[in-house]
Amino acid sequence: MSESERPEGTEPSPEAPEAEAAAGSAQPGQGAPPGPAERPGRYSRSTGGLVASMVVVVLAVVGAVAFMGLFRDETSVEPDAVDYLATVRALQDAELEPVYPAEVPKGWKATKAEVLQEGAPGLDLGFLTDDDEFVGVVWTDEDVDDLLRERVDDSDVESTERFTVSGSVAEQWQGYEDPGGDLAYAAEVERRTVLVYGSASEDDFAAVVGALTTARTAR
């Protein structure tokens, strides 16, 4: 209001400048224009970046380990040697006459010698040849067909030829073979089954079959 429009006898209110100043400093939410928006925090973005970095590191480590594994030799565990003649003696001490090889070729190692407990006691032997092939010898009252399914192949074993071995516990032996090339030779000794089986060569099998005996072991 100009001085010419103010009624006579009135003075300017001393509170007017203070009211105008108060209006100019009004708080947000009380009619004053809003101030600049606050910058959002960066915590969530930092967490996401950290997780992504960790995933990349883990994938890199896994890839490196897999790559190194391509050039690492597979570790093989050699089975311990066992004294198979001690198991034979235990059966002989029980008044039994197990069939077993009196000796095996040089360089072979006996890796299994167990007494079979089902039915009448039997003998279960395993050997590794000097070429790391397996030869097993079983003396049991089990039927030969059942033994072939258990020890050689559960469905596909073919008979091969019969042959004679002089000096063994049995002269006549029946040969068998599975599709994978594993061999087996079976005979009956005192109405019990003897099965020699495994992945070795025919010469190795001939050596084992020729060494089979029921003689008492040396003490």
Please list, in sequence order, all residues whose beta carbon lies within 8 angstroms of the beta carbon of residue 19, skipping any fewer than 6 positions away: none
| pLDDT beyond 60 at 28 | no
Query: What pTM was estimated for this model as a whole?
Result: 0.66
Q: φ and ψ at 138, to 5 degrees?
A: -125, 130
Q: For residue 89, what pLDDT band results from cuts at 50, 70 and 90?
A: very high
Helix (H) or strand (E) segment spanning residue 149: helix 144-151
Taking residues 181-186, report their average pLDDT.
96
**Mean pLDDT of the region 172-176:** 96
38-66 as b/e, with b when 16 or more CB fall inside 10 Å?
Answer: eeeeeeeeeeeeeeeeeeeeeeeeeeeee
Of the pLDDT bands very low, low, confident and very high (cuts 50, 70, 90), residue 43 is very low
Reading the block at residue 142, the tokens are 């089990």
Cα-based angle 132, 197, 93 (whole degrees, multiple of 5): 100
The pLDDT, as a whole number, for residue 206 is 94
Confidence at residue 139, expressed as pLDDT on a 0 to 100 scale: 98
Domains for the chain: give ranges and CATH numbers: 84-213 (3.30.200.100)
Least confident of 13-22, 65-74, 158-167, 177-186: 13-22
* Residue 61 pLDDT > 70: no
Q: What are phi and psi of 213, to 5 degrees?
A: -155, 170
Say which range, 48-52, 189-193, 195-199, has the weakest mean pLDDT.
48-52
Q: What percent of the chain lies above the pLDDT cut of 70?
A: 65
Residue 185 above 60 pLDDT? yes
> Between 13 and 212, where is the model more confident?
212
For residue 60, name the pLDDT band (cuts at 50, 70, 90): low
Q: Is residue 103 a contact partner of residue 84, using CB atoms and an 8 Å limit? A: no
**How does pLDDT run across 118-137, given as a tens digit for each residue?**
889 999 999 999 999 999 99
Q: What is the pLDDT of residue 166?
A: 87
